[in-house]
Structure 1
Amino acid sequence: MTNKYLYLRFIFSVTLLSIGSSLLFTSASGASTNLPVLSDHSSASVSMASEYRLGRNWARMLRGSAPLLHDPLIFHYLDELLWNIAPHSQLTDRRLELIVLDNPTFNAFAVPGGVIGVHAGLITAAESEDELISVLAHELAHLSQRHFAQRIEEERRNRPLVLAGILASILIAAADQQGGVAALSSTMGASAQAQLTFSRRNEAEADRIGMQTMVAADRDPKAMPQMFSRLQRSYRFYGQRPPEFLLSHPVTEARIADSLNRAETLPRVSPRPYTPEFDIIRTRIEVHFSDQPGEILKRFIADTQRDNPAIAHYGAMLAAMRTNQLELARQHFEQLPQQWAQHAYIKLSELELLLAENDFTQAESRSEAMMALYPDSMPVMKMHARVMYTTGQPERAVPIYKHLLQDYPTDTDSWYQLAEAEGLSGNITGVHEARIEYFLLTGNIDSAIQQITFAKREANLHPSDLARLEQLEAETLEIRRQIKEDL
């Protein structure tokens, strides 16, 4: 367990105890209903610039402490959904960053600075794309209404570590779900409300504005109460512990009923034509998180005789790949219906199969063809770079990763892979620079400084390279100062 993790956990425990004591007092006095509103000066007491800086530096610590899911198809799908609804939200600052965590629990969160986090397991809790979108719309509403700033102002005078505690609770649950629960449970004696990240009023406001966002984006607002009901029913799978999402976003029968009633008053949206993206991604995640791939393979094979053979064949293909039954995987791929077989996500999945089969000639040919069709697609570029690297052409992978990082500068996996490709291509300065960026994005400031020192010792360093390293050194020291100041 890292010192950083222990530090955040300590902050979280101390902070929740102080919040719990405060909530006991405010409940008795009735003051808890007097929350600041957006139109008064209270939210402005925490500047948006401060929120942005704190959230982005916290995101560095999250990337370095919690396992991220580096599946380009899953990330691309969620990122597309987020940007599908963000223009219809009330956000004024749309510098958003999506972080997908390799965590099977049902959770999502929003952090000041436009950081949206999704535990990949949440997708398996949804039964439709709109249900999944409803959670993203809800989190965007928390950001647009600046609920974090309101909470800080509410506790500002006597409890300056409130936001640190809130962020620590998210990080703990993301990095270690059992640890997150233990940290929450340790404070329950002080107050049951100590588990709640937001007030009930803020949750209701996020529901209302989130549903308005959904309508504006031509999505069914009824999907939000449906999703919350589904999460609430999942209690039975968790024993005495609710899903992480319900710990930070408490759902009651009254809240579900209220949101259902509100949805009835909103304009109706037209049904959307079926597309397979949601089913493809949900199936990928289901196979990814299965701890018994042989059993899930049997289930998908049996399901090929039922109502949704496309999902079943795709699931069987992925599960067979996990169990190294590549001929069986190929058989199920060949049985996919045309609508699925022609989908870009399925073609990329076949590229994964071709690499597993060591059919590098076909993999390179298909990958080149996809790059011609989708030259700016994030998952296509990442898969093409992987094919180039795997087929012994790292020098061709380097420009692809650099192109990717222009649009996705916080993609730690691309920085890591770029460093590897630069090394095999013989560009030592490029290795150092990519590693420095990787360490900065994962909050490993000491390693970034050490890497800069190593880079500056290289013989025959070009003046432009030295200038770039000195710039990176200044940025690194500034980030270190900010993190110490904020956290």
Structure 2
Amino acid sequence: MRRRFVGFLGLAVSGVAGAFQLPDLSGSSATVFSAQEEAAVGRAAMREIRERDPSYWDDPALAEYLTGLTQQLAAGLTGRLDLPVFTAFLLKDWTINAFALPGGYLGFHAGLIAATESEAELAAVAAHEVAHVAQHHIAQMLEQQKGASLWVLGSLIIAALAARSGTGQLPEAAAAAGSAAAAQQQLAFSRAFERDADRVGLDLLARAGFAPEGAVRFFGRLLNATRLGETGFPPYLRTHPLTIERIADLDNRIQSGEFRARFGSAGKEALDPWGFAFVRGTVLAERGTAGEALAQARAAAQDPVGQVWRVRAALRAGERAAAKEWLVRFVQQWPEGRWRALWEAEAWRALGNLAEALAVLRRALSAQPESLALRAAAVRTAIAAGEREWAWQQAREGVERYPKRDLAWRLLGEVAAARGDQAWQHRAQGERFALDERWQAALDQFEKARLARREDDIWVAEVQARANRMREAIRAEQRERGRSVR
């Protein structure tokens, strides 16, 4: 079981394989765990990453772009009622990698973003990870562990995540417990899933409107970047087929008459070029030391990626005059929208012009109120500028629009803290705990919220009703744990 979950965390792009006309592997074993159980495990894993992984990159704008990309690709899975709402996040890890967690959580490494040269290339990786989730590969990995409970599953994944960040010894323990025969069986198991994810992912990529050749180009570049690893280990020790094999398989599939009949030969390198430029430029500005990032940015092309890269790298290096000069020159080349507003406003804020930053964000948020990343930037800038009542209104609207988004409640709590409103601060924190199904912690916060405004009968009634739901959830969780140990 432990070996399987170390392998599970390696459902990564660094060794994905492609194949032509492979069978569909989504079978009855996908029901080992229900969608609700997979979602619960995914939430627990995400909580572990947010709270304990030092590489977690907590940037709403980057997450919003990546999540939008994955959801756009997942939209090609028409008629599927068993799929989660996909959520993506970024790790400031400079290896070229990506991975899938249960419940539709997809992790991307900064090194992967830096290595891609077009949105189609990044989308090819995202589509592969979406396919892992859609095909229920994680559940199928547990086919021989049908007696395992949800709680065992969750604890093993969390232990593996802890080991990833250097806080545990799970890999060593797993290696000591494993046998060569079992390891070889697991390797073959992974190959089948990786080929299946390539098959489904390539279809999703083309169905979304991206050029499928982006997958071939990216993995060709990956082959060059990892050539030592490709030739330095015996094939049976690799958890995935050789990258050179996958490139040939992907290209054969794209060139096949069947594929062209279904999708044609057209496709775009980017469906959201400004969003991709914003994200890649932001990532590149954080790579290496501040001086290295600025030197590389100066040498880069002055395309949209290079424009964001230059401004952000200059700000990081403390070159305020250069940052302002580039900002004023480049920003006018961008169309109005959230991506222009987000990097322009952040630059003005870093340059000390809060009024200009807030003005930019107000205009953009008025045009695109559905963007939670814009709302977060606007609310936080408004707090810094002393516009607390306007920030409060925007934060309240955020939780009304997105009552199940952690960021929306976090913003509300930040504004409440700035206003000195302890009641709402505790209530917002309670809602965040509830989203993670940390019922007892949520209940404690709701009790503090009730006590902070005990003279307000309507408030007390609302908070009491939420607290009662938390108590019901705690009892249900206790019943489930009781069944799992019998």
Q: TM-score range by the shorter chain?
A: 0.7 to 0.9
Provide closer, same or farther for how the CA distance between residues 364 and 299 of structure 1 changes in structure 2, counting only shifts above 3 A. Answer: same
| Kept in 2: contact 1:103–1:120 (CA 8 A) | yes
State the shift of 1:94 in Å: 4.0
C-alpha deviation, 1:330, in angstroms:
0.4
How many residues get paired? 452
Q: Is the contact made by 1:99 and 1:117 (CA closer than 8 Å) also made in structure 2?
A: yes
2:382 touches 2:388 (CA, 8 Å); kept in 1? Answer: yes
Shift of 1:76: 1.9
1:460 aligned to 2:448?
no
> 1:89 maps to what in 2?
77
Q: Tell me if 1:424 matches 2:424.
A: no
Contact 2:44 2:436 in 1 (8 A): no
Tell me if 1:208 matches 2:199: yes
* 1:336 match: secondary structure: helix
- The corresponding residue for 1:24 is none
> Does residue 296 of structure 1 match 2:293?
yes
Q: Partner letter of residue 50 of structure 1? A: E
Maintained 8 Å contact 2:85/2:104: yes
Match of 2:467 among 467, 470, 473: 470
For 2:76, the aligned partner's letter is H
Question: Quick one: distance in 1 between partners of 2:161 and 2:402?
Answer: 22
Q: CA offsets per residue over residues 97-128 of structure 1, 9 Å max, x none?
A: 31413331333222333333333432122222
What TM-score, normalized by structure 2, do the two folds share? Answer: 0.78
State the alpha-carbon separation in 2 of the partners of residues 198 and 169 from structure 1.
Answer: 22
**Matches of 1:317 and 1:166 in 2, distance apart?**
43
Cα distance in 2 between the residues matched to 1:163 and 1:197? 22
- Listed as ranges, the matches of 1:4-403 within 5 Å are 12=2, 38-39=26-27, 41-67=28-54, 68-89=56-77, 91-104=80-93, 105-156=95-146, 163-164=153-154, 167-168=157-158, 171-172=161-162, 175-176=165-166, 190=180, 192-193=183-184, 199-235=190-226, 251-265=242-256, 266-267=259-260, 268-272=264-268, 275-288=273-286, 290-303=287-300, 307-336=301-330, 338-340=332-334, 342=336, 344-403=338-397
Distance 2:60 2:306 in 1: 22
Could you tell which deviates more after superposition, 169-178 or 90-99? Answer: 169-178
**Counterparts of 2:103 and 2:398, CA distance in 1:** 22
**Structure 2 contact 324–351 (Cα < 8 Å) conserved:** no
Determine what percentage of the aligned residue pairs are the same residue: 27
Contact 1:293–1:322 (CA under 8 A) maintained in structure 2: yes
Alpha-carbon distance between aligned partners in 2 of 1:16 and 1:364, rounded to the nearest angstrom = 45
Structure 1: gaps of 5 or more residues: 1-10, 18-34
Q: Determine if contact 1:449/1:476 at 8 Å carries over to the other structure.
A: no
Do the aligned partners of 1:211 and 1:221 also contact (CA within 8 Å) in 2? yes
Q: Secondary structure at the match of 2:75?
A: helix
Q: Deviations over 1:306-339 (max 9, x none)?
A: x445433431210121123222210111232743
Matched position secondary structure for 2:106: strand
Which residue number corresponds to residue 22 of structure 1? Answer: none
Shift in alpha-carbon separation, 1:45–1:78, aligned structure 2, 3 A: closer
**What is the distance in 1 between the residues matched to 2:327 and 2:227?**
35
Whether the 8 Å contact between 1:137 and 1:214 is mirrored in structure 2 is yes
Structure 1 stretch displaced more, 360-369 or 58-67: 58-67
Relative distance call for 1:231 and 1:186 in structure 2 (3 A) is farther
Question: Given the alignment, which residue of 431, 434, 437 partners 2:428?
Answer: 434
Q: Distance in 2 between matches of 1:476 and 1:395?
A: 34
Q: Residue 53 of structure 2 contacts residue 165 of structure 2 at CA under 8 Å; is this kept in 1?
A: yes
Q: SS at 2:142's partner residue?
A: helix
1:168 to partner: Cα distance: 4.0
Taking structure 1 as the reference length, the TM-score comes to 0.78
